[in-house]
Amino acid sequence: MKKKCLLSAFILICLIEAVEAQNSMTLTIEEVIELSKEQSLMAIQAKHTFRASYWQYRTYKANYLPSLVFSATLPNFSRAMTAVQQNDGTYQYMQDYSNRISSAMDIEQGVPLTGGTFSIGSSLGRTDILGDNPYHQYVSTPLNISYSQSIFGLNTFKWDKKIEPLRYEEAKKTYLSSMERVTLTAINYFFNLASVQQRVAIGEFNKMNNDSLYRMAKGRYNIGIIGENEMLQSELNFMNSSSVLNQALLDLEVSKNRLRSFLGFNETVDITIVIPENVPKVLLDVEKIIELAKQNNPNILSYERQLIEAQREVARAKSQNGLSANLSLQFGLDQRSGTPIRSGTISEVYTKPGDMERVQLGLRIPILDWGKGKGRIKMAKSNEEMEKVRIQQALTDFEQNIIMQVNQYNMQYNQLQLTAKADTIARNRYTVSMQRYKIDKINITEMNNAQNDRDNALMNYVSAMNRYWEYFYTIRQLTLYDLSNNKPLETDYDKLVD
């Protein structure tokens, strides 16, 4: 029985350790970046934003394809007084007691060259006259071919053909840029946790060492080697290191929670990150980076699209000023059957249908508009000029930002090497100072200075590495270019819309 209890306890401990191991994750910066692109809310939002742009583009493409439309009215019942013209030309109000049903099938096709609409269709309707002398009539249009065209109006097909493909390409590049923004956010959370982890490690080390130094100081004080002031300073150092460690432990939980939340994990997952030992070393040329950014950055496409949209508004204002005309042409066959004496049949409306032609030209000529049309044109042209100036300034700022980012990145590698060397020197100095303090060659103040320098050097190194990764991925976001592998950033857009 005792052996069974021990075996059960052993199995339970193993299970608990397995669960704890399953919920503990040790992540590198590359793993954090990949997880953020797959699971973070920012990444999911970027995917849905692209999907919306994709379906907008699909809608634009569908406008160039024929559409089949079925329409029907079932029923249209009426019971009201209606004016009916008599044989002598006068009108008499009579009770209208009727029901009408109708249906139509049409194929419509836009004409991009002219901006008009071509359609071909067929319709059938039935009217039931109710009351004292009931009967019904059928009316059909077996074939109806029509074309409508705004003669001086804006051809929306022409402008959409310029704008919508550009907007879709912009959406593709915006998605890539958004994913690089996700990466930058992941790097920020990663190094925030890395910094706090280092503070905790420093705090634990300092607390342990200050405890040893305090015990050493008390022994020296008791035998009269040092004064009370130095002994009290050692005790204060120990108390302060304990307080600093406690605060670091609290900050550690906050940083872990933020990274967990960003990566889409719940509170049961414990994350520990591994600070990278190496960084991607790529020396960048400013001119090449500017060229890549102009080729790939979505802002460049956005500026081009905004300028075309401004030009479209000028064309729209011109089309709405002065003479406007709408032409409608219609040809087909129609027939009806049924009279108040005899109700009709469906077969009769498809027997010997007659010709049907309609031509309509509508004109609108503003005689006096007090300069409204001219004002709209002037306003649209002014907006176009403002867009040109704004875009030119934005391009200048864009280039200046790239130059600044590249210079900062190139300098940051040297800065990282300096902070790494300073960290090594500070560690060595601390080791030497500790040895000298133990043999009473330096006082507690010099020992504290060596400890503070060591701690600051390590934190400066972590901070410098953080800035290096931020600069590196900021330039990737600006250029949408894989600087390490020397190729443009790509993704499978088809998978995003599945």
* Predicted confidence (pLDDT) per residue in 132-187, tens digit: 778 888 888 899 999 998 888 889 999 999 999 999 999 999 999 999 999 999 99
How far apart CA 205 and CA 152 sit, in angstroms, is: 82
Contacts of 430 (CB under 8 A, 6+ apart): 450, 451, 453, 454
What is the reported pLDDT for 381?
92
What is the reported pLDDT for 16?
43
What is the reported pLDDT for 134?
82
Domains and CATH numbers, the chain: 32-56+161-305+386-496 (1.20.1600.10), 98-111+116-154+324-365 (2.20.200)
The residue among 321 and 472 whose pLDDT is bigger is 472
The candidate with the shortest Cα–Cα distance to 468, out of 399, 400, 420, 397, is 420
How far apart CA 162 and CA 307 sit, in angstroms, is: 11
What is the reported pLDDT for 9?
47
For residues 148 and 106, the answer to whether their CB atoms sit within 8 Å is no
Mean pLDDT of 279-290: 90
Sign of CA dihedral 308, 309, 314, 316: positive
What is the reported pLDDT for 344?
75
Indicate the average pLDDT of the chain.
Answer: 87
Taking only the tens place, the pLDDT of each residue in 113-125 is 888 999 999 999 8
How far apart CA 231 and CA 225 sit, in angstroms, is: 10
The residue among 277 and 26 whose pLDDT is bigger is 26
Mean pLDDT of 211-217: 85
DSSP string spanning 453-487? Answer: HHHHHHHHHHHHHHHHHHHHHHHHHHHTEETTTTE
Q: What is the DSSP letter of 326?
A: E
* CA-angle at 491, arms to 488 and 492, nearest 5°: 145
What is the reported pLDDT for 7?
43
Instruction: Place 438 in a pLDDT band, splitting at 50, 70 and 90.
Output: confident
What's the longest Cα–Cα distance across the chain? 138
How far apart CA 152 and CA 142 sit, in angstroms, is: 32
Residue 331 has pLDDT above 70, yes or no: yes
Instruction: Place 21 in a pLDDT band, splitting at 50, 70 and 90.
Output: very low
Kindly report the backbone phi and psi dihedral angles of residue 338, in degrees, each rounded to the nearest multiple of 5, phi listed first.
110, 140
Mean pLDDT of 265-280: 88
Kindly report the backbone phi and psi dihedral angles of residue 249, in degrees, each rounded to the nearest multiple of 5, phi listed first.
-65, -40
Q: Which of 115-129, 179-193, 272-286 has the highest average model confidence (pLDDT)?
A: 179-193
What dihedral do alpha carbons 484, 33, 289, 309 form, nearest 10°? 140
Residue 3 has pLDDT above 80, yes or no: no
How far apart CA 137 and CA 223 sit, in angstroms, is: 125
Residue that the structure tokens 């958004």 belong to:
178
Instruction: Place 20 in a pLDDT band, splitting at 50, 70 and 90.
Output: very low
Residue 19 has pLDDT above 50, yes or no: no
| Rg of the chain taking only CA atoms, in angstroms | 40
Taking only the tens place, the pLDDT of each residue in 363-421 is 777 777 777 888 888 999 999 999 999 999 999 999 999 999 999 999 998 999 999 99
Which residue spans within 232-349 are E strands per DSSP? Answer: 270-273, 324-337
Which residue spans within 112-184 are E strands per DSSP? Answer: 116-129, 135-150
How far apart CA 289 and CA 483 sit, in angstroms, is: 10
What is the reported pLDDT for 6?
45
The candidate with the shortest Cα–Cα distance to 301, out of 151, 174, 477, 170, is 170
Taking only the tens place, the pLDDT of each residue in 39-88 is 999 999 999 999 999 999 999 999 889 999 999 988 888 877 777 677 77
What is the reported pLDDT for 84?
67
Across-strand partners of 182? none
Instruction: Place 18 in a pLDDT band, splitting at 50, 70 and 90.
Output: very low
